[in-house]
A and B are shown apart, each in its own frame.
Chain A
Amino acid sequence: MGRRFEFVYILDFIPKLLGYLQITLFIVAASVVLGLVVGLIVALPRMYNIPVLKRLSVIYVSFFRGTPILIQLFLIYYGLPELLKGISIDVSKVPVLAFVIFTYALHSGAFISEAIRAAVGAVDRGQVEAAYAIGMSGFEAFTRIVLPQAVAISLPVFANVVIANLKDTSLAFTLGAMEMTGKSQTLGLTTQHFIEVYISLSLIYFVVSVILERLFQLAERRMLRYQPELASTPSRKRQLPRLLLPQFKKGGEQA
């Protein structure tokens, strides 16, 4: 396959691919922000035990956690327009990117809703009672006492969702979305240097993942500063091996 391996192509491809990094990051950011909204909405019926909606949210979560993201992409990209045609809405002009973001938002929303549910459950009931006892309303108690702690607790899971999402966006090229992986396909085809382009591509994903991982670690340390065992900054010696060997997990699975 292709031409003889030439190292110089790796360096040559990196800047070309980097031009498309912003699209990849845009997909990640947009879908995670939407996913947060979706996740919160979906988590609420289960936290407050609302009969029918609770069922629906369970079905939604198990579907998006239990099917491959690639199939979800196909279902939404090819299936949704057909469905909408039935109620005479034409989405043929909607860009591919919108479908991609929509799918990833629903996908990460499922994981995020589980993370939110677990984290809210982890804030002990006693603190809520204390908030009520000093005269706070349910809303004040939730936003001022429960939510900040829940966000801090769910941050590691959230980080996993974001990083998993980053890597999953590479599948968007199957729909013809021109993000980094999509670009690597065309670069590979035109130059016939496939191995080099994939090496460049994986380098970029790797570095971006590590940077995200580090940022989340910093945020976590800051948000959990009220927990001494996490707040105390470990020495540089201990940090370094972790930087070199980041641990990637599929989002939300340990929640």
Chain B
Amino acid sequence: MALKIALFGITRDIVGQPTLEMPTPAPATVGALLDHMRAHYPALGQLRSCAVAVNNEYAPADQALGPNDEIALIPPVAGG
């Protein structure tokens, strides 16, 4: 099962593409996804924050991820 991750702002620049497909981490949680991403893209660890959104909501580290979830990395926002 693969996950599709949407990337925005500086996370898209770091990864170099607007979406990323990756094998589901074990365990299939938000926290494991972030660990995996930071290991592959160390520049993500330099950010002031990097959250994960699942289905348009900020997701806690222990939230489970499924193949039908809309997942995105959320670097520090700067609207307004």
A and B found bound together: no
Which residue numbers of A lie inside 8 Å of B, CB to CB? none
